[in-house]
Chain A
Amino acid sequence: MTDFIDVDVRPILRAGGEPFSIIMAALERLEPGEGLRLLAPFKPVPLFDVMASKGFAHRDAELEGGDWEILFKPHDGSLEAGEPAPVALSDDDWPEPAVRLDNRDLDPPEPMVRILASVERLAPGQTLSALLSREPVFLFRELTKRGHQWRGGFTPQRDAYQLTVKVLA
Chain B
Amino acid sequence: MGSKPVIGTSVCKWTVSYFALAVVWLLLAEVLMVAGFGFPHSDIGGPDTLVIVHMVCVGWLSTALCGALFQFVPVLVAKPLYAERWTPVALALLTLGLIVLLAGFLALGGHLNGPSWLLPLGAGLLVAGFALVVANLGMTLWSARPLPAAARFTAVGLACICVTAAFGGTFSLVLSGTGVGALWPDLLPSGVSIHAIAGLGGWLTFTAMGVSYRLLAMFMLAPDGDAELGRLAWRSGAAALAVVVVGGVLALWRATGLNLVLLLAGAAALLSLAAYGSDVFGLYRTRKRRALELNTRMSLLSLGNLVAAAVLGAASAAAGSLQSHAGALAFLVAFGWLTGLVLANLYKIVPFLTWLETYGPVMGRAPTPRVQDLVAERRASKWFVLFFAGTWAAVFMLSIDSALGFRIAVALVTLATLGLCEELVRARRLADVAESLRLPLGATVPHLLVSRN
Contact = CB atoms under 8 A, between A and B. Distances in A.
Interface of A: 8, 11, 37, 61-64, 69, 85, 87-89, 91, 105, 107-110, 112-113, 115-120, 133-135, 137-145, 150-153, 158-159, 162, 164
Interface in B1-22: 1-10
Contacts of A145: 361
Given A108-B218, A116-B363, A140 B1 contact: no
Interface residues of B, number: 32
Given A119-B364, A120-B364, A137 B8 contact: yes
Interface of B: 1-10, 74-75, 78, 146, 218-219, 221, 223, 225, 288-289, 352, 355-356, 360-361, 363-365, 368, 370-371
B9 A69 contact: no
Contacts of B1: 64, 91, 151, 153, 162, 164
Given A107-B221, A108-B218, A138 B8 contact: yes
A141 B146 contact: no
A143 B368 CA distance: 17
B388 to A, nearest CB: 25
B9 A141 contact: yes
Given A64-B1, A109-B371, A159-B223, A140 B363 contact: no
Contacts of A11: 146
B6 A109 contact: no
A87 B3 contact: yes
B363 A134 contact: no
Contacts of A153: 1-4
Contacts of A115: 364
Contacts of B5: 37, 85, 87, 89
Contact of A152 (B6, B218, B364, B368): B6
A61 B3 contact: yes
A138 B365 CA distance: 17
A140 B3 contact: no
Contacts of B218: 108, 134
A14 B445 CA distance: 52
A24 B90 CA distance: 38
18 contacts: A61-B3, A63-B3, A69-B2, A91-B2, A109-B352, A109-B355, A113-B363, A113-B370, A116-B364, A117-B363, A119-B364, A120-B364, A137-B8, A138-B10, A138-B360, A140-B8, A142-B361, A153-B1
B66 to A, nearest CB: 20
A113 B368 contact: yes
B2 A117 contact: no
A104 B218 CA distance: 11
A160 B285 CA distance: 20
A137 B78 contact: yes
A134 B75 CA distance: 11
Nearest to A119: B364
B442 to A, nearest CB: 12
A42 to B, nearest CB: 14
Nearest to B1: A91
A109 B360 CA distance: 11
A91 B3 contact: yes
A133 B3 contact: no
B4 A113 contact: no
Nearest to A145: B361
A8 to B, nearest CB: 8
Contacts of A140: 6-9
Nearest to A115: B364
